[in-house]
Structure 1
């Protein structure tokens, strides 16, 4: 909780500006020296006669300026950490090959006070001609066949290009394919020995990683060893790239990394396996981050899963290795995303045959070296570290950041401001490092926190402590059976204690000691200033004010309360006895309120400056009207009518309010608050709603009948006209009964052969 309060105080005083030395937050007082100096901007006065009677020990804790103004002598002021920084090693920046220094200072000790930020400067200048170690890590899966042929002849070109930057260059070569198990690599014996997709080519068996050539400055050896390499092959598209990067980073002795700029060039035309993919092959053990190369410099990958991206990133940072991804265009997005997760890494597009790899390495190294990132490593949780920088060609940081960053840097000197701020006391000195990404140099920082006062030797039986206690840092530690700020209070019994004495200085168990306005000395309150009373509860200058005047000038302040004169009333005597503002033509507050502090306080149901206005009069008197309409018992209705004067008007009247749609009434306020109610019968009227509905329905029916009659008439006229046309057409038609020459009647001839036989027989008989 204390740390939160300190942080909030620091934030409040640093809001809207950079917090620097000399702009410290306000002091939060405490009752002991050690607690005092843990509060930002506080100092402690050890002077024995510094406090006035009744002042608490907390008054010893204040800002240095306040303590001096209150006559605390300079040699009695405890204000530690005047010189917080000590340089243990602060060598100048140097380009000397034998003594390269790129980061300054190298080792410092810093002493902090809790909540008080401290700033110091870290300088960086990249050394010209700084040695470079470049390890070329190549994917040897079958699709990289033409790339391998190209790389076999590039050793001299790579060294020559890098020697434009520095004269000392070493180059090495490693290769990778995939884990030697299913489903990554075929386990068929013939395919295992020769994983090439066709029988014409000859390939070497697959492997996870192989250190072909440790770092060397002999370009010819690089070309010889690389020329011996054969392409390999595997089953799935992703490769064991992260496995290979891990081994190339952690096997420092076998790769022979030097204490120089370390560059790892990774070339591939496909994606990579990540942590968890090893489970497909039955490998569940997470990678242990150790060097796993055998005596031949190979790693088969069967024991451990692929490493995670975060694990690889951390290992590269720990070993100050800068990573260049040289990949083909179709997988560029995947490696761009990977590079975003790995500090000090860049991605370049590699041609299909790797012919541009030399220019790509040179350009990528230039991009890496032009970006500076300064960050801490191993800082304790109680310590906040932030950075502020101004870089050439860049705008100055407008706020403190978690890292110091600069872009577009060549060989100019860059200064970073580093701010340290402790939120809590450290139990012991803590050491952490500030380093530049990709650089093996660092600033070692040992932080101490000043949380205890050095007040010199304690004085036993001190005179200031009445000879009954030990004086240290201006405070008395009393002997047994003695109490008090100066050990002046003797215990009469075992029941006497600081707690019991403090209890006698409290008004009740929930109140503060001496009401917070004094000090309890030997069970009695010694009040500060003009305060008085047994518990310092009376303050004759702390009464309420009216118009910024104590007790409105119309009373006397006694123990925090105003005793008013001249008939004035109120907690601040603000109420005048006059009744001018409460009177109108209807009397005092219109008879419907009381005048308090020359202001009307109205009865329920009334409002206005003089209580002359009703609040919803119709509703208020509705019950009264109902009583008179339903049961006209004047005496019985008096209570329900609030003793109003009720008048029934003759005839029909339409007044302001209505009751049951039969009665109208109006309410007025007479002199001295008399309520006057008039009511009468409402004029009788036709139900307009029923009339309108009846007229509307009748009109619709009538119009409908008219439309039907008109339609029937028109239809009848149409039928008559059509009949007449028919008759007329019939009369005009002439029918003549003459023979049609074109018509022939039907002729039917029936021939019976039997008749012919009978005729012939008849003829023969006649002849005979």
Structure 2
């Protein structure tokens, strides 16, 4: 579908397009058959008298053919205008060139009558005639840098004619020259420099000029040589030249150049410099845009200093209009510039000249072969809201496209074809456009009209029984006579019971027809919705558009929307009819559906609260079954505890022939404090178990009072002693810490050993004579 997206609008609902579109009718406001067929290419109208129901909008007659037939419209009662094409002129293709006008494209005239939006395709054939005439106009840059090239061109006449005679016996050559506008800053306007713009040492120099036509088309090579020999080099100031000026005049001055009506027209432009284009003239104060008209007097371009250079678009338009194919023979330094120019000019080629232009004949011959072997078909003057698409049918076809069709490597005498698809997007009458191969005179004129009115062939009588003899039938609907209204003209205007009839159109004393229709003759005639379908119901309370969609299709394409609800076709289900009826995806290993804990919808289990997909086997967040089923096990197994009414339903003691989903062993304390060990088998269904007691209850022995009292006293005494020992230990540790602190302080003390400065020795010492010293 990649290419289909590119041409989606072009081939919208086209039978012959690349994309096969689904036939749909996008209705808007439909009041008649004409409105219907203008709504889309697949909208058709049912004119069957009894097709619509009472009160139903006549817009229901407008739909696709398949939908109308399905609703009961007979095939012969369907109005569906089809495309029609008539070939008005188709002369056979010529096999070789004669003096008469050769035919290379067929047909030449075709008339199309189209349904708006519906495409039609026709085929055109093309064959290049053997020996078709060639007109070659040699347009040379005569600025000073081309002086060596001019000397070689003067000797080219015989070689050029020899090369052209290989192609055709009917060849002609013309010659023209150009430099640039003779104003500053392009040319030195000093009087002496205008007369001799070349270097002072170069004697053979002609006065400055913009463009000069030298030789009209001639089949005589001696005349070509003589005229070219008379030419001398000229000069200018800046590098770019006035080549576009010269090409424009050569294209629009056909009578002076001598272009023949039936010929391949070539302009060979030789230069070693770039070109000036539109806007550059402002540098010289030239503000007048190029008018694309011929201004030649005495073979000289007279408006060179008055009007600006042409734009590339203007030049391309005139070259295409006059079937002229340019060959740019340029030097290597400007090859890139002219290749970019060639991309903007259809049917043009670029070749690289040698430094002295000696290879120009081979260059022209190669470029001509490339041009003539490439056939490009396009159109002119395309009317608004008309689109054309080309599909080439040849060995070397280019990609299909809207603007042109291309076949390459086409040899002379080979017949090729183009399938041309035309689509008219709106109503029109007698519009025409032209299809033609680029560079070739042959054309195909397409005249286009559209069918936008129904031809129903109604009876001429003004009173028809279907309309209660109060109106006539027009394409199946009643056009009432003056003073009567209603679907069948059954009511007269000004009826006295109008108020009571209006009340019958109101539901719960609300608005008339819920604001979605008109009350006519006591019945609602419902309006159409935004998409073109009708509201319906006694009070227009329903529509068939607001149902759930699947894959962007209303009711998945597998059902019908009826008043907001999908009514699925047999074999489909789901809120949007998106699923086939099947339970394969919901089947469990024991061949149940969702283990009895849910329903199968759209081949998937919709589980009850808590149970988990895919097949509702496990329950997430459900309470522990060992705990919840304990009371029932105790009640049913031992006759104690609380016994609810659901115990006998949810717990089975006998063997039950059902598939076990999973088993679980439990050990719980009952209401009497006894341990019960039991097994629960989870069965199919919700809250359905099989219980089995694994062993008798284990109840604990009653406690000993003496042992409890003795143990309590011993415990208290032990704890008291332990606390006293702990207190004693803490006191001892505190005293030990204080003692260590004292010892540390003692070690840190330092006693002074210096003499006391206040102390004086005794002046007299008296010894005891009796002291023995012992």
> TM-score by structure 2 length?
0.64
Shift of 1:409: 1.8
Partner of 2:45: 44
**Other-structure match for 1:81:** 82
Q: What is aligned with 2:379?
A: 376
Alignment of 1:60 onto 2:58 = no
Q: Deviations over 1:577-606 (max 9, x none)?
A: 999999888999xxxxxxxxxxxxxxxxxx
Tell me, yes or no, if the aligned pair for 1:501 and 1:522 is still in contact at 8 Å: no
Deviation at 1:240, TM superposition (A): 0.7
What are structure 2's unaligned runs of at least 5 residues? 1-6, 527-532, 544-560, 576-605, 612-618, 630-774
In 1, the alpha carbon distance for the partners of 2:410 and 2:472 equals 62
Q: Distance in 1 between matches of 2:464 and 2:539?
A: 31
Secondary structure in structure 1 of the residue aligned to 2:214: strand
| Alignment partner, residue 487 of structure 1 | 489
2:358 counterpart (355, 362, 379): 355
**The residue matched to 1:280 in structure 2 has which SS?**
helix
Alignment of 1:322-361 (within 5 A): 322-361=325-364
Rounded Cα–Cα distance in structure 2 between residues aligned with 1:358 and 1:151: 10
For structure 1, which runs of at least 5 residues remain unmatched after alignment? Answer: 1-6, 551-573, 589-768
Match of 2:24 in 1: 26
Alpha-carbon offset, residue 374 of structure 1: 1.4
Match of 2:530 in 1: none
* Whole-Å separation in 1 of the counterparts to 2:12 and 2:386: 19
Q: Counterpart of 1:354 in 2: which secondary structure?
A: coil
1:650-669 alpha-carbon deviations (Å, 9 max, x no partner): xxxxxxxxxxxxxxxxxxxx
Query: Any conservation in 1 of the 2:505–2:524 contact (CA below 8 Å)?
Result: no
Residue aligned with 1:80, SS: coil
In 2, Cα distance between equivalents of 1:125 and 1:325: 26
**TM-superposed deviation, 1:164:** 0.6
- What is the aligned partner in structure 2 of residue 449 from structure 1? 450
The change in CA–CA distance for 1:227 and 1:533 in structure 2 (over 3 A counts) is closer
CA contact (8 A) 2:514 2:539 kept: no
Q: Give TM-score, length-normalised by structure 1.
A: 0.64
* Alpha-carbon offset, residue 139 of structure 1: 0.7
Partner of 1:439: 440
Provide the C-alpha distance between the structure 2 equivalents of 1:512 and 1:255, rounded to a whole number of angstroms. 75
What does residue 253 of structure 1 align with?
255
**Which SS does the other structure have where 1:464 is aligned?**
helix
* 1:177-196 equivalences in 2 (<5 Å): 177-196=179-198
Question: Hey, what's the Cα distance between the residues in 2 that align with 1:334 and 1:307?
Answer: 17
Kindly report the root-mean-square deviation, in angstroms, between the aligned alpha carbons of the 2 structures. Answer: 3.9
Q: 2:113 aligns with which of 100, 111, 114?
A: 111
> Aligned pair 1:524/2:523, yes or no?
yes
| Superposed displacement of residue 542, structure 1 | 7.3
Q: 1:52 to 1:495 in 2, by over 3 A?
A: closer
Closer, same or farther: CA 495–112 of 1 in aligned 2, 3 Å: farther
- 1:408-419 to structure 2, matched below 5 A, reads 408-411=409-412, 412-419=414-421
Q: How does 1:328-727 map to 2 (within 5 A)?
A: 328-394=331-397, 397=399, 400-411=401-412, 412-426=414-428, 428-456=429-457, 458-492=460-494, 508=511, 511=514, 513=516, 522-525=521-524
Instruction: Please say which of residues 110-119 and 579-588 is displaced more in the overlay.
Output: 579-588
Structure 2 counterpart of 1:204, from 206, 210, 213: 206
Partner-residue secondary structure (3-state), 1:230: coil
1:91 counterpart residue number: 91
What is the DSSP-based 3-state SS (H/G/I as helix, E as strand, rest coil) of the residue aligned with 1:236? coil
Counterpart in 2 of 1:659? none
CA distance in 2, matches of 1:45, 1:200: 89
Distance 1:537 1:298, change over 3 A: closer
Q: 1:227 to 1:11 in 2, by over 3 A?
A: closer
| CA distance in 2 between partners of 1:501 and 1:213 (Å) | 94
Deviations 1:598-642 (A, max 9, x none): xxxxxxxxxxxxxxxxxxxxxxxxxxxxxxxxxxxxxxxxxxxxx
Task: Supply the distance in 2 between the matched residues of 1:501 and 1:378 (Cα, whole angstroms).
Answer: 60
Deviations 1:81-138 (A, max 9, x none): 25x1111111121134223111121111111112212111121111111111111101
Residues 503/228 of structure 1: CA separation in 2 closer, same or farther (3 Å cut): farther
| Aligned twin of 2:730 | none
Size of the aligned set, in residue pairs, is: 547
Please give the alpha-carbon distance, in whole angstroms, between the structure 2 residues aligned to 1:496 and 1:253. 81
Q: Over residues 410-456 of structure 1, what are the superposed CA-to-partner deviations in whole Å (9 max), with x where a residue is unaligned?
A: 23222111111222222x32111111111111111111111111223
Per-residue CA deviation, residues 176-212 of structure 1 (Å, 9 max, x unaligned), is 1111111212122222211121234231101111111
